[in-house]
Structure formats: structure tokens, C-alpha cells
């Protein structure tokens, strides 16, 4: 098995189409198909189910995809680590992040870090908390920023920020006309709500109400703030999101009010406990801790 087999397999697994994968890899389709068959022969298992409807990963294919991503990641990291040893701190870091206040924190951290190490490159991937956890847990990113709660095992974490939750209210809703910049949580009970897609987030929002397991009217479950904002603009419902997600909104069709009693969204920086962080990633986390004036684990990879 060679590295090209790994790269070819990942491309096909991502596209689930040999023609598109071949175009992505800048090779012809027949040699790509042949390389994948050779890989399957070597592993003694079928990695893809082939049918008239297209390709799907087999159970063995899904398992191998996790290994393949880690192999490719460690290959690139090993090159960087050796280069760092000979020429000083340089290379790249891969970061996964949720929305909310995380992008602004991340921009501040990167700007400060590159003041000291301008040769460092950063790659940023954005998604939901569950998606960030998946990427960090499977070695696809060095570390990530997520919001609580999370129950992922094998992750180290550092708390980095808290902010209030807010309600994005259609201007046509009577709640938008209430004086002041806040509303009571009870005001939301009979409204159609637009909330983050995570099941744990729904349970958290239910706990905000005085009664146990309130019967909330959930109109939409979404993963990204832009969807929440546009749905609110169209009057679909009231969106519940961290207050910093609303800093860009000057739209007259949407009114933003904080929720009372105040409930907080907590952001944490996470990385894989069992994975070996590169020197760049470890130094970056140290730099974040210095900026926030918080304690830094004695061993970042064994916190």
C-alpha cells in the first residue's frame, strides 16, 4: 500500500463517484478504478458497493476511511515536525470552529500568533459542534472551538468564553415591540422557535423554563446562523442563538433581544487527547492560554 492509494481512496470516498474523483485528482478514471481495486485486493475487503445508483461505502470502507484520514494527516504532520526541528517553528495548523463568537476569538488568536510566527499558515473549517468534534476526534483538525454541552470522550478542553443567548424576533411579532433589550423566557413558550440542530441543545433550552419538559413549538432545527437569520426575516419563527451571532444585523425585519433570566453559551477549545499535537499546534494553544491568562496543561497531549 502506497500513499497514493490512500489519497485516491479518500477522493473517491468524498465524491462517491469515480469520474468526479478522477477530475479532482487530475488523473484518468480507468487508472483510478484500477488503483481502488488493487487496494481492495490488498485489504481483502470491498470498500465500495457499486450499483446503478452509484457508489456507497461499505462498513469496511467507512472504517478504513478513518484510518486513511489519520494516515494522511500524520504523514503531513511528520514532515512538518522534522522541518520544525531543523529550521524552527513553521508549518500549518488545521482548526475547526463553530459560529457565534468563535470566529472573532480565532481571528484575534491567529493575528497574535502570526505576529511572532508569520510563516505559520492556518486552515479554518466551520461547522456545527458535532461536526467539529468529529473532525478533531478523527484527526482531521488539530483542535476546535465548540459550545457546551458535549459528551465526546477522549477530548482535552479549555474554557475560553461565555456569552448570553438571545432571541431573534420577526419585527411583525408583538414581542418585538416590548420596551427594552430583553424578553422573559416564558414569552417564548407559545412561539414557533428556530433552534440549533443538536439534540442536546433542545434539552438545554427546555431546562431554561420553570416547568419540567415544556412542550415547545419547534418550527426549524438548523446548523448555521445565516439560516436562522433568514428564516426569522421571513417570519417563520423566533431564532435562539448566542448574542454575538447577531452583531451584523441591522435589518429592520429582525429585532434582537437577550433572554431573561440570563442563560449563557459556553465556548471551549478542544483537541484529541490521544493524538500527538504538532509543535505548531501545541505552541498555538500555549499562546491562547497566555492571551486569556488561564492555566496551560503540563502536557497538552496528555491533559
Q: Which three cell numbers stand for residue 138?
A: 478523527
pLDDT, position 87: 61
pLDDT band at 76 (very low <50, low <70, confident <90, very high): confident
pLDDT at residue 83 tops 70: no
pLDDT at residue 299 tops 60: no
Query: For residue range 24-36, what is the model confidence (pLDDT) as tens digits?
Result: 888 999 999 999 9
Contacts of 155 (CB under 8 A, 6+ apart): 133, 136, 137, 270, 271, 272, 273
Of 78 and 245, the structure prediction assigns the larger pLDDT to 78
Which domains occur in the chain, in start order?
3-66 (1.10.10.10), 89-161+266-302 (3.40.190.10), 162-265 (3.40.190.10)
pLDDT, position 51: 85
pLDDT at residue 225 tops 90: no
Q: Where are the alpha helices (DSSP H) in the chain?
A: 3-15, 18-25, 29-43, 59-87, 102-116, 129-137, 199-207, 225-233, 279-292
pLDDT band at 301 (very low <50, low <70, confident <90, very high): very low
Q: Where are the alpha helices (DSSP H) in 138-247?
A: 199-207, 225-233
Q: Which three cell numbers stand for residue 117?
A: 510566527
Region 245-255 average pLDDT: 75
Place of cell 426569522: 232
Contacts of 225 (CB under 8 A, 6+ apart): 99, 100, 241, 245
Of 153 and 290, the structure prediction assigns the larger pLDDT to 290
The phi and psi torsions of 132 (rounded to 5 degrees) equal -65, -45
Please state the pTM of the whole predicted model.
0.66
pLDDT, position 183: 94
Percent of the chain whose predicted confidence (pLDDT) is above 90: 54
Lowest-pLDDT choice from 42-46, 53-57, 181-185, 216-220: 53-57
pLDDT, position 132: 93
pLDDT, position 78: 78
pLDDT, position 89: 65
Query: For residue range 99-130, what is the model confidence (pLDDT) as tens digits?
Result: 889 999 999 999 999 998 888 899 999 988 88
Amino acid at each position: 500500500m502506497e500513499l497514493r492509494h490512500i489519497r485516491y481512496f479518500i477522493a473517491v470516498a468524498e465524491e462517491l463517484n469515480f469520474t468526479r474523483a478522477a477530475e479532482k485528482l487530475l488523473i484518468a478514471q480507468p487508472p483510478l478504478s484500477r488503483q481502488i481495486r488493487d487496494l481492495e485486493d490488498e485489504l481483502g475487503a470491498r470498500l465500495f458497493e457499486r450499483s446503478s445508483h452509484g457508489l456507497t461505502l461499505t462498513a469496511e470502507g467507512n472504517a478504513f476511511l478513518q484510518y486513511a484520514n489519520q494516515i494522511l494527516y500524520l504523514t503531513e504532520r511528520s514532515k512538518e515536525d522534522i522541518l520544525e526541528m531543523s529550521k524552527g517553528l513553521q508549518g500549518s495548523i488545521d482548526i475547526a470552529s463553530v459560529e457565534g463568537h468563535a470566529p472573532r476569538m480565532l481571528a484575534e488568536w491567529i493575528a497574535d500568533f502570526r505576529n511572532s510566527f508569520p510563516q505559520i499558515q492556518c486552515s479554518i473549517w466551520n461547522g456545527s459542534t458535532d461536526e467539529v468534534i468529529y473532525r478533531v476526534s478523527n484527526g482531521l483538525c488539530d483542535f476546535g472551538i465548540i459550545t457546551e454541552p458535549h459528551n465526546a470522550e477522549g477530548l482535552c478542553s479549555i474554557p475560553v468564553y461565555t456569552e448570553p443567548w438571545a432571541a431573534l424576533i420577526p419585527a411583525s411579532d408583538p414581542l418585538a415591540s416590548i420596551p427594552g433589550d430583553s424578553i422573559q423566557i416564558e414569552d417564548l413558550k407559545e412561539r414557533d422557535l428556530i433552534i440549533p440542530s443538536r439534540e442536546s441543545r433542545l434539552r438545554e433550552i427546555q431546562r431554561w423554563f420553570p416547568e419540567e419538559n415544556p412542550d415547545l413549538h419547534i418550527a426549524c432545527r438548523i446548523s448555521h446562523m445565516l439560516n436562522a437569520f433568514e428564516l426569522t426575516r421571513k417570519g417563520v419563527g423566533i431564532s435562539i442563538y448566542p448574542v454575538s451571532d447577531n452583531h451584523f444585523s441591522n435589518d429592520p425585519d429582525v429585532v434582537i433581544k437577550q433572554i431573561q433570566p440570563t442563560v449563557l453559551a459556553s465556548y471551549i477549545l478542544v483537541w484529541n487527547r490521544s493524538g500527538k499535537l504538532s509543535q505548531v499546534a501545541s505552541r498555538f494553544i500555549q499562546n491562547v492560554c497566555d492571551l486569556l491568562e488561564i492555566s496551560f496543561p503540563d502536557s497538552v497531549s496528555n491533559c
